[in-house]
Chains A and B, each alone.
Chain A
């Protein structure tokens, strides 16, 4: 897998397509367009771009007003800073199902050297708690682009979490991304690994290693964490009898929690979670941080062995 791309770059690429195809799409940014990759849209369609300044709370309300007039606003910021507008989203957007897209980049530890204040690890928990909100964490550049295009077509609030780091391309251009649908990347009878974001590529490597030692894993890419694909998770749990989740997020209330909510209600099986263990990040390279905080291929392999042992 030589080709690499960040999902924030995929977001910027998708916006250029939307700029051409949908005149209702407008982009908002809080002084981060060089990083969020909205810059090219801004240059091409300045009349459909709103500079808010470093003012995320106001950005959310302005986005709501634009959406109520029929626009499709993509409010862009870093995942950490956009989250300070959570309560603005709750009342101005979520409450009445207003058609605002939150496109927040720089999710997770892979922000790297900027350190803990910019490493968002609580966003899946925050956003999936909100009624009407769809939550999507794309795994690669292709899924990131397709998820952005799908969000524009979907009526209602959507949270898109994009990453800063260049990651391997997993999908092909003919991938049929659907909001709310899991993508099965591998079939195996012994255990299921469910992952999102950068952890899907690591989970794919883990599945290869496990196969070498005789453990065959089903791999589900769960880009949409809300509404979660209950059918795919229940079927995988039923077929394999154990699940491992992997996410670049806190262990509490993220993908692992969402999967466990499904299995608890529909098909109770052992669930092991690979995630950040209720702590904050720090300065480091993305690889150093993923190693220190346990978001590695090895961690997924170890968790999978534990899950299989619990069957």
Chain B
């Protein structure tokens, strides 16, 4: 896998992602609830996506030519909100309102409260179909923008996802790039114990997708896979990003089910931030 970023660029991106991790943990702690495990697992990918891939304009979020991004695993929204704040979609201080009544940063992404989002998500599987609809609209209009969609690896238990998995190659939807945050855990345990979806890459290949498997915590690999040059004309792209739920906080990775949907308390926040200092 070719390294497209200089060492300095890669180090800066990784450092930014780690800074985002601190902000995610503080945001969750302040909000008092939310989903840390899947936010930490996806943040390297989201950082690369918003820094290096998406054609977007935070000052004009509805710019028609923008690339669309849909977080289908809507519970991972703390990571998305932190990246959006950093890119200037809204002031960083807004993060302090996460999960409070009236906040643009609802418990799950809601376009009524944050119109810079593309769709409402939070019910698993739905964002994927909605993102396909965005891409099909672009296909009908001959528009050049692309649609990126991130799913969770627990989320793909939903039958709706496989309906969409069939549709995209049938429509030769090559403007569509999906990413699975393959963090190996869902609410009640490890994915292989709940409903094993392995071999994951082979499944999507069999459905007709171009599949890339990358280390989802390595910004070089993520960046390489997300570049438009990886798109094979006439086919949708699936990036299986291998991650760890809670990465790199040891006690969250050790008990991924405990930190699927529970915000860190005071002691856990301090311990997690201390671990990040050592990174």
Contact = CB atoms under 8 A, between A and B. Distances in A.
Interface of A: 26, 47-48, 50-53, 55, 57-71, 73, 87-88, 90-92, 95-96
B134 A52 contact: no
Interface stretch (B23-31, B82-90, B118-126): B118-126
A65 B140 contact: no
Interface stretch (B45-53, B156-164, B215-223, B251-259): B156-164
B273 interface: no
B138 interface: yes
Interface string B160-177: 100110110011000000
A87 B163 contact: no
A55 B123 CA distance: 17
A68 B134 contact: yes
Contacts of B122: 91
B119 A26 contact: no
Contacts of B119: 64-65, 68, 92
Q: Which residue of B110, B163, B170 has the most chain A CB atoms within 10 A of its CB atom?
A: B163
Contacts of A55: 160, 163-164, 166-167
Contacts of A47: 140
Contacts of A66: 133-134, 136-137
B271 interface: no
Considering the complex of A and B, which 7 residue pairs feature the smallest CB-CB distances, nearest first?
A65-B133, A61-B129, A69-B137, A58-B163, A55-B163, A62-B133, A57-B160
Contacts of B141: 69
Contacts of B160: 55, 57-58, 61, 88
A59 B128 CA distance: 11
21 contacts: A26-B140, A53-B167, A57-B160, A57-B163, A58-B160, A58-B163, A59-B129, A61-B128, A61-B132, A61-B160, A62-B167, A65-B136, A66-B136, A68-B130, A68-B133, A70-B137, A71-B140, A73-B133, A88-B129, A91-B126, A92-B126
A60 B121 CA distance: 13
Contacts of B167: 52-53, 55, 58, 62
A67 B130 CA distance: 10
B112 interface: yes
Contacts of B137: 65-66, 68-71
A61 B118 contact: no
Contacts of A95: 110, 112, 120
Interface in B96-139: 110-112, 118-123, 125-138
Contacts of A64: 119, 129-130, 133
B208 to A, nearest CB: 13
Interface residues on chain B, size class? 20 to 34
**Most central of A68, A87, A90 by chain B CB within 10 Å:** A68
Contact of A48 (B135, B140, B164, B166): B140
A18 B64 CA distance: 25
A297 B84 CA distance: 62
A60 B166 contact: no
Contacts of A62: 129-130, 132-133, 136, 164, 167
**Which one of A51, A88, A90 has the greatest number of beta carbons of chain B within 10 Å?**
A88
B125 to A, nearest CB: 7
Contact of A57 (B120, B125, B136, B140): B125
Given A53-B163, A61-B126, 17 more contacts: A48-B140, A53-B167, A57-B125, A57-B163, A58-B164, A61-B133, A62-B132, A62-B133, A64-B129, A65-B131, A65-B132, A65-B133, A66-B134, A66-B137, A68-B118, A87-B123, A92-B126
Contacts of A53: 163, 166-167, 170
A48 B139 CA distance: 10
Nearest to A73: B133
Contacts of A52: 163, 167
Interface string B176-209: 0000000000000000000000000000000000
B112 A96 contact: yes
A67 B120 CA distance: 13
B113 to A, nearest CB: 10
Contacts of B159: 57
A58 B159 CA distance: 9
A294 B239 CA distance: 57
Contact of A63 (B111, B125, B133, B135): B133
Contacts of B118: 68
A92 B130 contact: yes
Contacts of B135: 65
